[in-house]
Structure 1
C-alpha cells in the first residue's frame, strides 16, 4: 500500500502566548513546538505514522531548515522527492481559544521542474493544491489509471476547476465555499457536478457536511473533545486527510462513513497536542478517541 502526496513544505513554529508584543515590547511564550508543516505534508506524515508507505513530492531547500525537514521525514519513513527552492518556508502558529493565527513566509519560486514519477506503484494520491503544475499532472495520471485522487480544498486556486474533474474525494474548507460564494450544501452540488464521488465540507467544531457513495448528504459531527483539552487546532484537518487515506488504503472496499469516522478520531487526538508532530496519532490513540468520545457524537 503506497500513497503519493504533493504539496508545499514548511517548518512550523507553534507558540502558546497570551499576547503578541508590538513596537519595542517583549514577551515570553508559555510553551512551544517546532515541527514539519504544510497541508499535504502533515497529511503524509499522519498517513505514514499509521503504517502506510508514503512518498512526498514537496519543496525543499539546502539550508539548515531543509536538513531538519529531511531528518523528520527519515524518522517517519516518508520518502521525499524534492522540488528545489532557495529557502525553506516558515509558519508561525499561535493557537488560542480553539482558533489559530498563522503568519507564513513562503518561497514558491521553483528552481527546477517537478519530478515525474511512475504512478503505477501507487494506490492513492493526495493534493493540497500547491505546486499547481504537478498537482494537475498527477491528478490526470492517477485518473487515467483509475487510482484514487484526494484533494484538500483549503482554497480555490488557479487550476482547481481542472483538478476537480480528475478528483474522486474532495474535502474542502469553509473558506473554499466563501470564495465561490456558495453555501456548504451548494458546494457539495458544485463538487458533484465536476465528477467528485465523495464530497465534503469541514466546519470546524461542527464537523463535516458530506455526500456519500450514493449521493446521500448528511452531517458527521466532530468528536466532542472538552474545550479545556483543546490545545492546538492547527493541523487537525491535515491529520484528518492523512487518516482517511490510511483507512481507505487498508480497506478500499470499505464505506467512506467508516473512513471519515476513523479520521475524525485522529483529528480529536491532534487538537489535544501542541504542534504537528506531537499530534500525529497512532492506531491505539485513534481507538482511544473513539472509545472516549464516539458515543457522545450526535448528528445534527
Structure 2
C-alpha cells in the first residue's frame, strides 16, 4: 500500500485589516529607515498574514490498482472554492512491507535511553459498522469482507472497530487484529424499520412518489381479487406501513450521522492519515449540509473514507 502525500499552499500572503477587537498572530515590524507618519487621528491596524500549508493525502493508482511512482508537483492540480492553490511538494509515501536491500543492524540499546528509531509506523484503519441501519441477520457477507480486509493489512497497522450509534462491540486502535476479528463476529444488526408489507426501498418509493414502483407493491399486496372496500383498506395499510418504515429510517440515519460526525472529531486528535471503512445498509441525510459537514471534518482529520453497502438480500 502506498500513497502520494502532497503539501500545498492554501492561502496567499496579504494583509488583514480589522478594528481594535481584531486578533492577529503576527504584527508588522516598523521600518527603521522610514520616519513615522504624523498622527492624523485613530487608524485601523494592519496585520500581515503568513502563507499556510496543509498536507493533502492523495492516492494515485493505475487501472490495476497499483500505486504510480515518479510523479512531481507539476502532475497535481488543487483548487479551493474554484481557485487554484500552489503545490509546493509531493512526496511518495510507501507503507508496504518491503525491506531495504542491505538492512543495517540497529544500534545497541542504551541502558537508560529508549528510542523508536527504526520502528515502522503502520496505518490507522477504522472499521465503522452502522448496526443501527443493518437488519438483524443481514450483512454477514459484508462483515466477512471486513474480515478479509484484516488479512490484507500489515502486522504493524492499527485497526479500530466502532459500532454506530453505540451499544455494540468497540475496539480501540490496536495491532492485535485477532481482537477485531472476534468483535466483528459479535455484531448483530439492530434496524427496526422493517414493515409488514414493504421493504425499505419500497417504502422510499412511496416517500418519493415513484408511481411505477408503488403500483407494483400495491398490486402485490392488494390484488384485484379484493373487494373495493377491502382494497381501499389494504392500500391504506400499505401506505401507513411505508410511512412508518421511512420515518424510522430517517430517525436512525440521524443518529448514525451524528455518530459519524463524532468519530471524525475524535480522529482529528490522532496525527497522520487515517482510513475509515463504513459498513451500512443505507443512510439518509435530510439536508446536504449534514453530509458536507462530515466530509469537511473528514478532510480536516485526514481521513480517506470508503463504504460497503449491504443490499436488501443481506449481501
Q: Is the pair's TM-score, using the shorter chain for normalization, greater than 0.5?
A: no
TM-score interval, smaller chain = under 0.3
Higher percent of residues as strand: 1
Structure (1 or 2) with the greater helix fraction? 1
TM-score normalised by structure 1 residue count: 0.27
Query: Highest Rg: 1 or 2?
Result: 2
